[in-house]
Structure 1
Amino acid sequence: MIRRSASKAPGDGRGQAAVLTDAGLERIQGAWPAHLESVRRVVLANLGDLPLAEFARALDAIAAEETSHGPARRRAAG
């Protein structure tokens, strides 16, 4: 479903880049309906009266934090 790329991962070059294969893409596309239903049931149904724009801003802040610190921070903290 994924294959290792011949090129090094961006950044310091210590890792490898992964490439999604056609079979991997098909698997993701097949899982999408169940995933969407799960997000609606578990997340969106529990937001109550919280405006979606406010929720989206919170998700943007989470994504920005993840992008700025990367996965190495999670491993070090855990």
Structure 2
Amino acid sequence: MEIRLARLEAIIPSLATREDLACLETRMNASINRVESTLHSELTKQTWRIVALLAGLLPSLFAAAVYVTRYAN
């Protein structure tokens, strides 16, 4: 019984306290918020790149189709 109690007493200093967990939760929330804001901004940038690509590509494709239909004969 004393051996088991000694093992438990040896483990106790390494266990997390409520304050440790609260600090960890605060750090995790801050990290999650940073990742969310970075992800949001990167998705917005990517969306505008796709819109710009389509705005340049679609008129070109339309012009090519008009050219082919008029001058393919």
Q: TM-score, normalised by structure 1?
A: 0.28
Structure with a larger share of its residues in helix? 2
Q: TM-score, normalised by structure 2?
A: 0.30
Q: Which has the higher contact order (CA 8 A, sep 6+)?
A: 1
Structure with a larger share of its residues in strand? 1
Larger Rg: 2
